[in-house]
Structure 1
């Protein structure tokens, strides 16, 4: 097989494209011929040695590849050669094949392509857990999504609408508002507006009958978190998903006390490890809503595996709208609307 290996932590250019022996399935495992794997921001952290969970070197990065089962090991029931699956593999996706525990494979809907599956993986399950498990969102509530045009943000906008919430999308500039409204947002909050501290709350109140948001999902952190805390409703819930803005914020607990609000965090990989049944339920819901036409994959740019460094640089430099997906068997880059 072909794979991109990490032999020393560093930037995208340190990845080494190599030929390696094909994996063989062990007890309870299947081998999956990988058709598509998303490039995620977390991959840059793993490759750079900056993530909290790091595999031993050398390793092949790439989370949650999608593909076709090509071999089945002893003790596997319920999967067969030829099954199209979404895997929950924590690494190994930047390759043409990977061995995965059968329990970490979920069959794809018939009409979902591998590119769609990869583009939705990690973003839509993260958004689902933030919205439905951590925030316990309910139909009729108002949801504010920060970073609404990012992978997790766009997924959260779609999921919020699918579950009957009113969705306000926080965008980095008015030019990106169309992406959020196309995903279903009911209103736009301009995060580039002057005086973010007061301006964010004012925009939320103006669009929500003079009240704050019942649920806030924050993948940004930094000044955006500081401003969003002020826009949370009484008994509201704010979920911290990440710190894409760079600064890890702190919180004055008087806001929590006076608003009777909750602030929680989400590390979604823990759910894959600790609550596999709940993770499977999450994907059942995502696939159900996809088949009902309530969810769709975001705009996607694809790269062949031999251009993995280019793909990661494009991701790092925020030069692609929507998601970036690697095609291990692909030969050319393309953009899929």
Structure 2
């Protein structure tokens, strides 16, 4: 098979595409011929060696590939050759084949393409757990989504609208306003405004009649987190998803006390490991809303496997709007 390898930690330019033997699934695994894998910001952390879980070198990166079951281990029940699945594999997605446990395979709806499955993988489950589990979002509440033009941000906007929330989309690039509005955002919050520490709260209060945001979803950290804490409504919830801006912030606990707010974190891969049934519930919901037409992946740019490094470079440089998906084979 062909696979993208990380043999030393570094930027996208350090990745190599190699021809290697096919993986050998055990009696308790299935083989999946990969058709599409989403490119995610976390891939940059994993390949750079800065993620909280550092894989042993060398390894094949790429999370949650989608494809077709091509072989079944002797002890496997409930799956068949030819089944179309989204896998919950933590690595191995940037390749033509991957061996996974059957419990890590989620059957795809007949109407869902592999590219759509890969585009929804990781981004949409992260957004669902942030909004529905950690923040306990309810219809009628106001959700401020920071980094709203990113993969998780766009997913969060769509999911919030499905569940009846009002969405304020925080973006730094005005050229991406149409993208977040197309996803369902009700209002735009300018994260590039002067004096963000004051201006973010002012914008949110103006858009909410002084109420503030019941929920803040923050994949950015840094100065954005510092400013967003001040925009949370009384008894609001702020969910930390990541630190894409580069700085891990600290929190003055007087904000938490005086406004009775909750601040929680989300490490979504832990749900895959610790609460697999809840992860299945998540995807049951996501797939149901996909089939109804309520959820659709944002515009997606597709790259062949041999250009995975270029795809991740463009992701790092925020040079592509919407999602990026890598497809090792022509069928999608």
Q: Deviations over 1:234-284 (max 9, x none)?
A: 000000001111111111100000000000000111111111001111111
Q: In the alignment, does 2:200 pair up with 1:200? A: yes
Show the counterpart of 2:79. 79
Task: Measure how far apart 1:210 and its partner are.
Answer: 1.6
Show the counterpart of 2:166. 166
Show the counterpart of 2:47. 47
* 1:154-193 pair list within 5 angstroms: 154-193=154-193
* 1:322-337 pair list within 5 angstroms: 322-330=322-330
* 1:84-103 pair list within 5 angstroms: 84-103=84-103
Task: Measure how far apart 1:177 and its partner are.
Answer: 1.3
Q: Which moved more, 1:102-111 or 1:10-19?
A: 10-19
Show the counterpart of 2:209. 209
Taking the aligned partners of 2:4 and 2:82, their CA distance within structure 1 comes to 25
Whether the aligned pair in 2 keeps the contact of 1:305 and 1:330 (CA below 8 Å) is: no
Taking the aligned partners of 1:69 and 1:252, their CA distance within structure 2 comes to 50
Task: Measure how far apart 1:16 and its partner are.
Answer: 2.0
Taking the aligned partners of 2:91 and 2:174, their CA distance within structure 1 comes to 36
Q: Which moved more, 1:136-145 or 1:6-15?
A: 6-15
Whether the aligned pair in 2 keeps the contact of 1:145 and 1:218 (CA below 8 Å) is: yes
Whether the aligned pair in 2 keeps the contact of 1:38 and 1:65 (CA below 8 Å) is: yes
Show the counterpart of 1:32. 32
Task: Measure how far apart 1:96 and its partner are.
Answer: 0.3
Show the counterpart of 1:218. 218
Runs of 4+ in 1 over 2 A off after TM superposition: none
Q: In the alignment, does 2:247 pair up with 1:260? A: no
What is the root-mean-square deviation in Å for CA atoms of aligned residues? 1.3
Taking the aligned partners of 2:311 and 2:173, their CA distance within structure 1 comes to 24
Taking the aligned partners of 1:197 and 1:59, their CA distance within structure 2 comes to 41
2:315 is paired with a residue whose SS is helix
Whether the aligned pair in 2 keeps the contact of 1:120 and 1:298 (CA below 8 Å) is: no
TM-score (norm 1): 0.96
Q: Gaps (5+ residues) in structure 1? A: none
Whether the aligned pair in 1 keeps the contact of 2:176 and 2:321 (CA below 8 Å) is: no
Q: In the alignment, does 2:13 pair up with 1:13? A: yes
Taking the aligned partners of 2:138 and 2:319, their CA distance within structure 1 comes to 35
Taking the aligned partners of 2:180 and 2:38, their CA distance within structure 1 comes to 21
Taking the aligned partners of 1:165 and 1:44, their CA distance within structure 2 comes to 31
Show the counterpart of 2:280. 280
1:118 is paired with a residue whose SS is helix
What is the aligned residue count? 332
Taking the aligned partners of 2:143 and 2:187, their CA distance within structure 1 comes to 10
Q: Deviations over 1:194-240 (max 9, x none)?
A: 22111111111111122111100001111111111011000000000
Task: Measure how far apart 1:330 and its partner are.
Answer: 4.0
1:10 is paired with a residue whose SS is coil
